[in-house]
Amino acid sequence: MRNAIKATATTLLRLPSEEDAKELFAVVDANRSHLREWLPWLDLQTTVETSQGFIRACLERERTMGAFTGLIWHQGELSGVAGFNSIDRMNRSGQIGYWLARATEGRGVMTACCRALIDYGFDAKHGLDLHRITIGVAPENHKSRAIPERLGFREEGRIRDAEWLYDHFVDHVLYGLLRSEWQPAEPG
Ligand SMILES: CC(C)(COP(=O)(O)OP(=O)(O)OC[C@H]1O[C@@H](n2cnc3c(N)ncnc32)[C@H](O)[C@@H]1OP(=O)(O)O)[C@@H](O)C(=O)NCCC(=O)NCCS
């Protein structure tokens, strides 16, 4: 079990604990309209208890599948969430999902977090030993699409009506990366 993954000198992905629920809810609540444009779960996150439920689900996914999801601590502030939403053990494939508080956008924080998650995902010795990592993004979510594109993912296709966003479906552009295509970070 991995408790934390360092993304940069100032950015840490840390497995949540139930004590983080209050702070997590405050960040979600302050970023509601920003996040609601592309994420489907905002109307379910209405109280600190619902954030606690999310944290429990993350810990359970990590315990049962090794699917690490971390709170993003950037310069000591809780700034978002990134991790493996799902892992298909049989086929050694994992799907990454993420969001960032508006105030932390535009600094490369999420790209660095994804780079660290990918290193962890493909690492056969200390990580998840995955063969393939995917990211699914709505076609018009340009900021999000830029992340897999920056990291060398290949656009593999389009999943029709992949996600229900409150009152309409959006397609997903599916980005995929194979271990053989990834250059891991230098250790240290
Ligand atoms: C998607 C989301 C995480 C992207 O955030 P982001 O800040 O654009 O992504 P990054 O943290 O990687 O930062 C990239 C930006 O920082 C800039 N940047 C600065 N230093 C950088 C560095 N060292 N490396 C990479 N980018 C850097 C980039 O140029 C880019 O800015 P630009 O959009 O003006 O070109 C964010 O918009 C978000 O949370 N949106 C709402 C939820 C959402 O859509 N989630 C994803 C669903 S699929």
Could you tell me if residue 130 is inside a domain? yes
Q: Show the 3-state SS of 85-149.
A: EEEECCCCEEEEEEEECHHHCCCCHHHHHHHHHHHHHHCCCCCCCCCEEEEEECCCCHHHHHHHH
CB 91 within 8 A of CB 115: no
Domain enclosing residue 127, as ranges: 4-181
pLDDT tens column, 14-56: 999 999 999 999 999 999 999 999 999 999 999 999 999 999 9
pLDDT at 2: 84
pLDDT tens column, 86-137: 999 999 999 999 999 999 999 999 999 999 999 999 999 999 999 999 999 9
pTM attached to this predicted model: 0.97
Could you tell me if residue 187 is inside a domain? no
Q: Calculate what percentage of the chain has a pLDDT beyond 70.
A: 99
Question: For residue 111, what are the contacts with CB-CB under 8 A and spacing of at least 6?
Answer: 147, 150, 151
Burial class (CB in 10 A: 0-12, 13-18, 19+), 136: buried
Please count the structural domains in the chain.
1
Could you tell me if residue 51 is inside a domain? yes
103 lines ligand 1 (CB under 6 A): no
133 lines ligand 1 (CB under 6 A): no
Residue found under tokens 């970023």:
31
Å from CA of 105 to ligand 1 middle: 5
Closest CA to 37 of 130, 131, 138, 136: 138
Could you tell me if residue 141 is inside a domain? yes
Å from CA of 64 to ligand 1 middle: 30
Q: CATH number, domain at 139?
A: 3.40.630.30
Q: Which residues pair with 80 in a beta bridge?
A: 72, 100
Could you tell me if residue 40 is inside a domain? yes
CB 24 within 8 A of CB 16: yes
- Residue 57 neighbours by CB distance under 10 Å: 11
CB 2 within 8 A of CB 9: no
CB 16 within 8 A of CB 59: yes
Å from CA of 60 to ligand 1 middle: 28
Could you tell me if residue 43 is inside a domain? yes
